[in-house]
Amino acid sequence: MGAKAKEKPKLAMYWAASCGGCEISVLNIHEHILAVDEIFDIAFFPCIADFKTKDVESYPDGYIDVCLFNGAIRTSENEEMAHLLRKKSKVLVAYGSCAYEGCIPALSNLTTKEATFDKVYINNPSIDNPDGIFPQEVTKVPEGELTLPTFYNTVKSLDQVVDVDYYLPGCPPEPPQIWAVLQVVVGGLLEGKPLPPAGAIVGAGATAVCEECEREKKEKTIERFYRPYQIIPDPDQCLLEQGLMCMGLATRSGCGALCPTVGIGCRGCYGPPEGVIDQGAKMLSAVASVLDAGDETMEDEELELKIQEVIDTIPDPAGTFYRFSMAHSILRRVKNGKGDS
Amino acid sequence: MERITIDPITRLEGHGKIEIFLDKKGNVENAYLQIPELRGFEQFSIGRPAEEMPRITNRICGVCPEAHHMAATKALDALFDVEPSSVVKKLRELFYSSFYVTDHTVHFYALGGPDFVLGPDSDPAERNILGVIHKVGVDIGKQVIECRKRNHEVIKILGGRGIHPVAGLPGGWSKAMTKEEQKTILGWAKENVDFALFSLKLFDDVVLANQAYVDLIVGGIFSHETYYMGTVDDNNHVNFYDGLIRVTGPDGKELVKYPAKDYAKHIAERVEPWSYLKFPYLKDVGWNGFVDGKDSGVYCCTPLSRLNASDGMATPKAQEHYEKFFETLGSKKEGKRYTPVHHRLATHWARLVELLYAAERMLELTEDPEITDPNVRQVVTNTPTEGVGSVEAPRGTLTHHYKTDENGILTDVNLIVGTTNNNAPIAMSIKKAAENLIKDGKVTEGLLNTVEMAFRNYDPCMSCATHSLPGQMPLEIQIKDADGNLVDTRSQYVD
């Protein structure tokens, strides 16, 4: 793309098991995209530019200065690309929630490959598959042989298959954050400014989403949880205080509290805040601490029962508290005795 | 037997792979379009609260998350048996129209348009959005960026986020439009109409004024006579947000018109062992293989299909262009309807007619005095059971089908996404292009371009199905002998 001046830093962007929203998020820096084109040479970017895996294979190791890798590791092909791009890139960024922590595709770790194939190809209201055919890694057709990559049982984050230098959270990352990170990277590459330490989370804040949410917060005392369609929430008050599940307490700031601003609870797409490893565990303890389940006169046992009653009004806690972070969590996947991949 | 592998983005990435097998004479024996990816939303959504689906399924596709968000939200309306208020329907449709403007703009200028604006025989290195800018002026590039910017802003204002919106609720929408926002959006909507008209004029000047391009569009290589599907309103006009699903035949006659909830009576999906992506077909006709014609249940679901399956457009300027489209391409008017256009490359033009409709509709809705009514949420108390929701995604009719327990926890999910509808027709278009260009073992130089164009008119973003969004599609064809030895390689877009 653009004028090919020599010695510009090389940028790559790749998608594994993803939706394409990360690529769109880069396009959504709008007019700045022209500056990106000015500053970088694109070395690999299947979404918009003309390079092939073969080109990447031919590059010397470390040829790519910055690789923005998005998407989770769902198939053998995703993993092969992760290894290739790690080898060829100086700086590998886990870009977006899928690469960082598994995101929505990793909800698949609550089920199995067998159940997935059964639902998609057999037990489905519109299926026409009387012979019970499943896609195969190798198929003999009259004219020859056709192959497909392996569909793994467990979805992994990028850092579970290769070393990652930086993490850029969000589903997808917000454009102002993307542009800010690109400027830091450019400062490092072109002006010798210091880059963030390896393993850093970039393009996000260090506190929680609640810190940037303008809703009015009082003492939190929750008696029960409501589904979003069961009440019409007050437009200005904290959603969690009104009994609507909102993950703001357990989610890293950086998005500007977009979802709560339009009256919808946060689901945690920026991952856990600084210093927190397991987002779901953090949310569970946060919820437990704000429940209005009893008072100090109660016996421990009674109090626990009360707390459990309120917690029971939360539907699907695992799929909610780990909505975006399943692969990266302590939980990682629901055990099924089928091994890890 | 010789074998040709076309790997759109090369073997490892595999967001779509084409295998062409030649017979002993070196002519095409068969061609396969393989989709090597699956993420399994239908299974891992089970156990989730149904109301989360608008914000789970939008992650199927980051290019058209608005379509999944809307189909899911409408499935919730049906699931909870709740009717959205008039302002909610209007807000949703306004949001959706704005999304259509940006989505169709990107396809025309960045993906499909370069073939025409620069010409199919132009230097591949220039055949991209930057090449378009070089040819028609930097101002157009800025206009495209501006158009995306203002419409993504509308999506963010009304949907909460620029990508992966969150505002959809059963029977409602979480965000009302303020008068201030209405004023801002009104200005943008007007700019959208101007931009759509400008784009059609550009198509006129660059494509229609050039006989060689017109010949290419109406040439047989890119033509298929199949059934067409699209959503229509009460007047059988194209509608993106709501209506009945209408299917018309290769002869233009209506085969069936049904509400979304009846989809499984009319659509079935086949499984092939060599692709993760299923192949839907019309049950009313039956599956007879990857072939054209009245007896083949293969149907197509694109902007061209929607125009073919409708009686017209619901807005005045789009209607003018709709008529011009059919008349220019040689259709006859039979009763209320034009005979269908089977030339797949005309899909690019059809997309611009839809762009204009989306812009006009967005303007109408923004001007509607009711649009700022703040009552956009309602308390829902019905017990959920089962619901189907559908919209026209830019790449085809999109259907979401949910079943839940009495607490609204999902027990079954089925999704037929836009691009999946076109899985069989795309495979057929590829085969036809290959057959035309591979003769007696000789691979014509134009093969790469032509196969690519055969693919691209369907909006080969293919993101819903494969999440591969090609700007420039690097293609490589490897020609192997019967023992699998590489005898020749032809490629483009490779430095």
What DSSP letter does each residue of A144-179 carry, written as one string? EEEE---EEEEEE-GGGTS--SEEE-SSS--HHHHH
Worst-scoring range by mean pLDDT, A104-118, A183-197, A256-270, B336-350? A183-197
The pLDDT confidence band at residue A250, using thresholds 50, 70 and 90, is very high
Are residue B207 and residue B187 in the same domain, yes or no?
yes
Are residue A88 and residue A176 in the same domain, yes or no?
yes
Are residue B172 and residue B275 in the same domain, yes or no?
no
Q: How far apart are CA B332 and CA B201, in angstroms?
A: 24
CB contact under 8 A, A126 and B169: no
CB contact under 8 A, B408 and A315: yes
Are residue A46 and residue A165 in the same domain, yes or no?
yes
Instruction: Confirm whether B53 is domain-assigned.
Output: no
Range of the domain at A230: 209-321
Q: What is the DSSP letter of B59?
A: G
Worst-scoring range by mean pLDDT, A43-47, A125-129, B43-47, B366-370? A43-47
Which residues in B lie closer than 8 A to residue A116 (C-beta atoms)?
38, 40, 42-44
Are residue A172 and residue A314 in the same domain, yes or no?
no
Task: Name residue A69's beta-bridge partners.
Answer: A14, A94
Range of the domain at B125: 83-221+343-379
Task: Kindly tell me the burial class for residue A297, based on how many C-beta atoms sit within 10 Å of its own C-beta (0-12, 13-18, 19 or more).
Answer: exposed
CB contact under 8 A, B44 and A108: yes
Number of domains comprising chain B:
3
Instruction: Confirm whether A72 is domain-assigned.
Output: yes
Which residues in B lie closer than 8 A to residue A111 (C-beta atoms)?
40, 43-44, 46
Are residue B94 and residue B209 in the same domain, yes or no?
yes
CB contact under 8 A, B169 and A228: yes
Cβ proximity of B29 and B58 under 8 Å: no
A 117-136 residues inside an 8 A Cβ radius of B: 118-121, 124-129, 133-136
Q: What is the DSSP letter of B284?
A: T
Q: B493 CA to chain A: closest CA distance, Å?
A: 5
Instruction: Confirm whether A331 is domain-assigned.
Output: no
CB contact under 8 A, A77 and B12: yes
CB contact under 8 A, B163 and A24: yes
Most B-contacting residue of A29, A69, A126 (CB-CB within 10 A), to test interface: A126
Number of domains comprising chain A:
3
CB contact under 8 A, B38 and A263: no
pLDDT at B12: 27
Q: How far apart are CA B423 and CA B300, in angstroms?
A: 9
Identify the CATH number of the domain in which residue A188 sits.
Answer: 3.40.50.700
CB contact under 8 A, B470 and A46: yes
Are residue A159 and residue A183 in the same domain, yes or no?
yes
CB contact under 8 A, A53 and B174: no
Q: What tens-digit pLDDT sequence spans chain B (495 residues)? A: 577 665 543 222 336 677 888 888 888 888 888 877 788 899 999 999 999 999 999 999 888 899 999 999 999 999 999 999 999 999 999 999 999 999 999 888 877 666 667 666 666 556 556 666 667 777 777 888 899 999 999 999 999 999 999 999 999 999 999 999 999 999 999 999 999 999 999 899 888 888 888 888 888 888 999 999 999 999 999 999 999 999 999 999 999 999 999 999 999 999 999 888 899 999 999 999 999 999 999 999 999 999 999 999 999 999 999 999 999 999 999 888 999 999 998 999 999 999 999 999 999 999 999 999 999 999 999 999 999 999 999 989 999 999 999 999 999 999 998 888 888 998 898 888 888 878 887 776 566 667 777 777 776 544 444 323 333 333 444 555 445 555 555 443 322
Residue B8's Cβ-side half-sphere holds a number of Cα atoms within 13 Å equal to 30
CB contact under 8 A, A121 and B278: yes
Which residues in A lie closer than 8 A to residue B3 (C-beta atoms)?
143-144
Q: A300 CA to chain B: closest CA distance, Å?
A: 30
Are residue B128 and residue B194 in the same domain, yes or no?
yes
Q: For residue B414, give the nearest of A22, A46, A125 by CB distance.
A: A125
Element (H, E) at B32: strand B28-34
Instruction: Confirm whether B352 is domain-assigned.
Output: yes
Q: A32 CA to chain B: closest CA distance, Å?
A: 10
Are residue A295 and residue A258 in the same domain, yes or no?
yes
Are residue A39 and residue A120 in the same domain, yes or no?
no
**Of B342, B358, B387, which residue sits at a domain end?**
B342
CB contact under 8 A, B37 and A258: no
Instruction: Confirm whether B71 is domain-assigned.
Output: no
A281 touching chain B per CB within 8 A: no
Mean pLDDT to the nearest integer, A305-329: 90
A30 touching chain B per CB within 8 A: yes
Are residue B97 and residue B167 in the same domain, yes or no?
yes
Instruction: Confirm whether B269 is domain-assigned.
Output: yes
Mean pLDDT to the nearest integer, A264-274: 97
CB-CB neighbours of B216 under 10 Å:
20
Are residue A251 and residue A291 in the same domain, yes or no?
yes
pLDDT at B236: 98
CB contact under 8 A, A20 and B377: no
Cβ proximity of B95 and B154 under 8 Å: yes
Are residue B203 and residue B127 in the same domain, yes or no?
yes
Strand B267-270 to B386-393 pairing: unpaired
pLDDT at A112: 93
Mean pLDDT is highest, among A198-207, A281-290, B75-84, for B75-84
Are residue A275 and residue A130 in the same domain, yes or no?
no
Instruction: Confirm whether B171 is domain-assigned.
Output: yes
Task: Kindly tell me the burial class for residue B81, based on how many C-beta atoms sit within 10 Å of its own C-beta (0-12, 13-18, 19 or more).
Answer: middle
Which residues in B lie closer than 8 A to residue A69 (C-beta atoms)?
none
Identify the CATH number of the domain in which residue B367 sits.
Answer: 1.10.645.10
pLDDT at A92: 96
CB contact under 8 A, A315 and B49: yes
A 174-203 residues inside an 8 A Cβ radius of B: 175
pLDDT at B384: 97
Are residue B316 and residue B193 in the same domain, yes or no?
no
Instruction: Confirm whether B388 is domain-assigned.
Output: no
**Which residue of chain A has the CA closest to B175?**
A262
Are residue B95 and residue B120 in the same domain, yes or no?
yes
Indicate the pTM of the whole model: 0.92
CB contact under 8 A, A48 and B471: yes
A251 touching chain B per CB within 8 A: no
A21 touching chain B per CB within 8 A: yes
CB contact under 8 A, B380 and A110: no
Are residue B261 and residue B128 in the same domain, yes or no?
no
CB contact under 8 A, B161 and A25: no
Are residue B124 and residue B203 in the same domain, yes or no?
yes
Instruction: Confirm whether B21 is domain-assigned.
Output: yes
pLDDT at A51: 64
CB contact under 8 A, A229 and B1: no
Select from B163, B92, B165, B97 the least CA-distant residue to B389. B92
Query: Which of helix, strand or coil describes residue B4?
Result: strand
Which residues in A lie closer than 8 A to residue B145 (C-beta atoms)?
30-31, 33-34
Are residue A170 and residue A268 in the same domain, yes or no?
no
Instruction: Confirm whether B68 is domain-assigned.
Output: no
Instruction: Confirm whether A329 is domain-assigned.
Output: no
**Of B296, B317, B342, which residue sits at a domain end?**
B342
pLDDT above 60 for A83: yes
Q: B93 CA to chain A: closest CA distance, Å?
A: 18
Are residue B94 and residue B110 in the same domain, yes or no?
yes
Instruction: Confirm whether A328 is domain-assigned.
Output: no
A334 touching chain B per CB within 8 A: no
pLDDT above 60 for A94: yes
A47 touching chain B per CB within 8 A: yes
Are residue B14 and residue B145 in the same domain, yes or no?
no
**Of B354, B379, B404, which residue sits at a domain end?**
B379
Instruction: Confirm whether A334 is domain-assigned.
Output: no
Largest Cα–Cα distance in chain B? 71
The two structure tokens encoding residue B57: 């399924």
Q: How far apart are CA B120 and CA B401, in angstroms?
A: 41
Q: How far apart are CA B285 and CA B227, in angstroms?
A: 10
| Residue tagged 């609640």 (tokens) | A210
Are residue A226 and residue A116 in the same domain, yes or no?
no
Q: How far apart are CA A298 and CA B248, in angstroms?
A: 70
Q: At what angle do helices A32-39 and A175-191 cross, to 10 degrees?
A: 20
Q: At what angle do helices B347-367 and B316-328 cross, to 10 degrees?
A: 170
Q: A139 CA to chain B: closest CA distance, Å?
A: 6
Mean pLDDT to the nearest integer, A207-224: 91
Which residues in B lie closer than 8 A to residue A136 (C-beta atoms)?
273-274
More confident residue, A310 or B102: B102
Are residue A165 and residue A148 in the same domain, yes or no?
no
In our burial notation (b when 16+ CB lie closer than 10 A, e otherwise), range A91-116 reads bbbbbbbbbbbbbbbbbbbbbbbebb
CB contact under 8 A, B44 and A51: no
